[in-house]
Amino acid sequence: MTLIKDKVVLVTGGANGIGKLLGEKCLREGARHLVIWDINGKNLESTVKSLQNAGYRVSGYLVDVANIQDIETAAQEVLAEVGKVDILFNNAGVVVGKLFKEHSARDIEKTFEVNVLGVMHVTRCFLPAMLQYGSGHIVNIASASSMTPNPKMSVYASSKWAVMGWSESLRIELERENRELRVLTVCPGYIDTGMFAGAKAPLLTPILSPERITDQIIKGIKRNKLFVFSPNMVYLLPPLRAILPTRWFDFIGGKVFGVYKTMSDFVGRPPQEALPEKPKEKELA
């Protein structure tokens, strides 16, 4: 069992959405210090001040996880100013939501820079201290799309497939260390945060509330679970893909459950909110 009490927690993309809720819930569980990384300076400042005014120890850093130098510089600052990170949430992510033929080169690059390379480089920077102390919990937010194809999600889904493969491989590597090093991979369906505005839920698969999925993630950490799949229908994806011929899976997933139509009316966040530019200032505290 992993205790959150008295731990240092870092959340990427932690100034809004489920990242913000995860940070708040860790503080309520007794986390000693919350570190928030975000690219949106306005949201970051507001979240940090609100939590500090509530009596919590919180530090905010303006970080673009698509930028390796940004990650490395901020990580050094965190380790020097706050100390070892005990629980790391790789939460920051972006989605474009277009047919592949409509993607620009920058759409593809940005998705992989944030969703894949950012996750790996953030972990790379904080893992040595975890190894040194023999403990740490890494939580990687993948997606239900990491287990099924879906039109208008080709680039996003492929980035989450990469996260799934890397996260599971990392878990096995750290388990071989025979220490208290944990990896939790989270595979949610659509979450009602605005990131997937316009997307429709498949049959028998509701849109998740941020409260529900974050409660499940916190419970998963405390119970040292390997995965959090939500909603429950997501648990069926791996066995169905393993057992059914591809065309059968296409029929059941696409025609019966309507998975392949879920992004037909996707609009997402407004462009100015989807991929904001990071301001020049480095830190808020």
- Mark whether 61 is an active-site residue: no
Other CB atoms within 10 Å distance of the CB of residue 222: 14
Cα 178 to Cα 44: distance, rounded to the nearest angstrom = 37
Cα 154 to Cα 159: distance, rounded to the nearest angstrom = 9
Catalytic residue among 56, 61, 133, 156: 156
E strand or H helix that includes residue 284: strand 283-284
Q: Which of 180, 76, 184, 166 is nearest to 136 (CA)?
A: 180
Cα 128 to Cα 142: distance, rounded to the nearest angstrom = 23
Quick check: 229 and 11 in contact, CB under 8 A? no
- Placement of tokens 């919350």 in the chain: 34
Quick check: 186 and 153 in contact, CB under 8 A? no
> Measured in Å, how far apart are the chain's first and last C-alpha atoms?
31
Catalytic (active-site) positions: 156
